[in-house]
Amino acid sequence: MSLSGFVIRVEDRSAAVERVLGRLRARLRGTPRISLGTEEEGVLQLVVTLEAEVGSRDQLRAELLELRDVRSVHELPPAPAAAGHEMALVRLRREGASPGSGEGGAPDAPEEDRLVVITGTGEEVDRILASLRAAGVLAAAARTGALAPPARAGPEPGS
pLDDT one-digit tens code per residue, 72-123: 999 877 655 445 678 888 888 876 555 554 444 444 445 577 888 888 888 8
pLDDT one-digit tens code per residue, 5-20: 888 999 998 889 999 9
Q: What is the pLDDT of residue 92?
A: 87
Mean pLDDT for the stretch of residues 63-76: 92
Q: What is the pLDDT of residue 9?
A: 93
List CB contacts of 8: < 8 A, sequence separation 6 or more: 20, 45, 46, 47, 48, 64, 70, 72, 73
Q: CA-CA distance, 125 to 103, in Å (whole number)?
A: 32
* 83-146 classified as CATH 1.10.3470: no
State the CATH architecture for 2-78: 2-Layer Sandwich (3.30)
Q: What is the pLDDT of residue 111?
A: 58
**Terminus-to-terminus CA distance in the chain, angstroms?**
32
User: Is the per-residue pLDDT at 28 higher than 60?
Assistant: yes
Q: How many CB atoms lie within 10 A of CB 66?
A: 8
Question: How confident is the prediction for the chain on average, in pLDDT?
Answer: 76
**Contacts of range 107-115, beta carbons closer than 8 Å, 24 or more positions apart:** 108/139, 113/139, 115/89, 115/90, 115/91
Between 53 and 128, the more confident residue is 128
* CB-CB contact of 79 with 2 (8 Å): no
Residues of the chain with CATH 3.30.70.260: 2-78
